[in-house]
Structure 1
Amino acid sequence: MALRGLSTVAVAVAVTASVYPPGSRCRVDKGTPRLCCGARFPSSGRRISVACKAVGEKQQGPVDETILYDGIYGPWTIDDSDVREVILYRSGLVTTATSFVVAAAAAAFLPDNTSLSTTLKQNLDLFYVLGSGGLGLSLFLIHIYVSEIKRALQALWVLGVLGSATTYFTLAQPANKNLIQYVVDNPSAIWFVGPLFAALTGLVFKEGLCYGKLEAGLLTFVIPTVLLGHLTGLMDDGVKLTLLASWMTLFVIFAARKFTQPIKDDIGDKSVFMFNSLPDDERKTLLEKLEQQNS
């Protein structure tokens, strides 16, 4: 199936060349290739925008534009399902960031004698569930070339969810506390909820590594520092609150800036994923064809 998809794209390129012969006007943009998960692998770096018409021909109506991106195993395009996946991936991150910021503000920064603080504290577990669900959605849709890394992050998320549920039902609820307050009062509970935040750390590390995002790189260090400081008791409350406020600020910036990126960044080199989905014999056949074309 994926091989047919690659062949279809190749045929589309050939048809485009025949429909728009020399003398037609096309826009050709250069992109910056990256060797990273969720970004393009190095190739010629061409991004061909097919928005052509014969020289001297008058344009009638809007131009039908199709963008072809160079991939290691052939050109690829973005379709509607790709756009939906990226929007859901980013929406999951926004849900996680919003839930975390609201819960952290209610638990650590809002005064106790306000109606807003009381209402939020009564729903801390709901915010925790929403944030965990948003993170799970993003980890399900994240594009990483090495599938073992993706599965490891998903496994950490599952362990974190199970640990959080166990802590809530067996420890927090009998003590008449919400989960967040119980973890605050009992640092050893970090062992149970920690894998969830380890998965989040892996996600922001991937984002920082792939796209050079400063806020993501800082989050990679801030998140484990706060959790380990709370677990070990070696960090005083003032430092923890400062780092927690930094975590909240960086997380908001990180989630908001995701929507400033082109859709293609979160897709990566689509031809790699298509190639990885092929059976071994079809991979071999495709590689032989590509070698013949290159020679």
Structure 2
Amino acid sequence: MFSVLEATSDIYQGHFGEFTISKDDRTEVVIYRGALLIAASSFALGSILFLLLGPQPYVLSWLTSLFMCFAVAIGVSLATIHIYMSVLHRTLQIFWAIGFSVAIYIAITQASPLISSIYTQPLHLFGVGWLFVALTGVFFKEAFCFNHGETKLLTGVVPILLLGHWLNWLPLMGEKVLLGSWAVLFMIFASRKIVKPIPPDIGDKSVFEYLHNKQRSIQLETNSD
């Protein structure tokens, strides 16, 4: 298991030059994939409980704990994901931070369980929804980079379900079907990531280096002016 974390002497040819992959690079990918699997498992378990047992008090209590586990795991995945565009990366992290902060606020200030508040209050869903916008960004990035069918579907399923519920467009059965589809597709995606080779998730490090140097040059020119 730990052998996948060891750096190798392999040299990769990038768009702007050669690069190697370090142990830290590999560790970040393992953490990213593990966080996705935890998020997917928490979401799937919560979906199963809700779909099979309904909004029972003890179910809602479990759903709150599972949601928090899901949300923290998404935050960890956003901290370790490799995205070339730093502005996009930071934007997704900000979206996550807004959604997670709103969820914490609701959990502390509202008498009703967190999931019940999000489900029944459009304003609460709007606030917490930024977390799901960040997650959709992860799905979009994975679909764009790796052409995974499940992430392409998730990029559509997530906003359709959330906007459909928020605007009261979807019937209850439609929401259940989309929720179940989301859970299944998310688990497929996270499970597939675990067994994939690590280097593709690291990306072309020469591009990261080029963009980093370019940003530093712009900052130096700005400071010199």
Q: What TM-score range do you get, normalising by the shorter chain?
A: 0.7 to 0.9
Percent identity between matched residues is: 36
In the aligned structure 2, how far is the partner of 1:224 from the partner of 1:239? 14
Q: 2:24 aligns with which of 81, 90, 94?
A: 81
The yes-or-no answer on 1:191 pairing with 2:126 is: yes
Q: Deviations over 1:119-138 (max 9, x none)?
A: 65432222111111110011
- The alpha-carbon deviation at position 190 of structure 1 amounts to 1.1
In the aligned structure 2, how far is the partner of 1:160 from the partner of 1:188? 12
Q: Where does the alignment leave 5 or more consecutive residues of structure 2 unmatched? A: 1-7, 219-225
Q: Given the two structures, how large is their TM-score scaled by the length of structure 2? A: 0.86
Count of residue pairs brought into register by the alignment: 210
Higher helix share: 2
Q: 1:269 aligns with which of 190, 193, 204?
A: 204
Per the alignment, in what secondary structure is the counterpart of residue 14 of structure 2?
A: coil
Q: What residue in structure 2 maps to residue 218 of structure 1?
A: 153
Q: What residue in structure 2 maps to residue 181 of structure 1?
A: 116
CA distance 1:128–1:72, shift in 2 (3 Å)? same
- The alpha-carbon deviation at position 188 of structure 1 amounts to 3.6
Q: What residue in structure 1 maps to residue 40 of structure 2?
A: 97
Q: Deviations over 1:98-135 (max 9, x none)?
A: 111111222232367xxxx8765432222111111110
In the aligned structure 1, how far is the partner of 2:69 from the partner of 2:158? 19
Per the alignment, in what secondary structure is the counterpart of residue 170 of structure 2?
A: coil
Per the alignment, in what secondary structure is the counterpart of residue 209 of structure 1?
A: helix
Higher strand share: 1
Q: Is the 8 A contact 1:106 1:121 kept in 2?
A: no
Q: 2:85 aligns with which of 143, 146, 149?
A: 146
Give the letter aligned to residue 168 of structure 1: A
In the aligned structure 1, how far is the partner of 2:162 from the partner of 2:73? 20
Q: Where does the alignment leave 5 or more consecutive residues of structure 1 unmatched? A: 1-64, 282-295
In the aligned structure 1, how far is the partner of 2:64 from the partner of 2:174? 25
Q: 1:280 aligns with which of 201, 205, 217?
A: 217
Q: Is the 8 A contact 1:167 1:192 kept in 2?
A: no
- The alpha-carbon deviation at position 267 of structure 1 amounts to 0.4
Give the letter aligned to residue 276 of structure 1: L
Structure-to-structure mapping, 1:47-66, within 5 angstroms: 66=9
- The alpha-carbon deviation at position 277 of structure 1 amounts to 3.1
Q: 1:131 aligns with which of 67, 70, 76?
A: 70
Bigger Cα displacement from structure 2, 245-254 vs 265-274: 265-274
Max Rg structure: 1
Per the alignment, in what secondary structure is the counterpart of residue 64 of structure 2?
A: helix
Q: Given the two structures, how large is their TM-score scaled by the length of structure 1? A: 0.67
Structure-to-structure mapping, 1:195-214, within 5 angstroms: 195-214=130-149
Give the letter aligned to residue 72 of structure 2: G
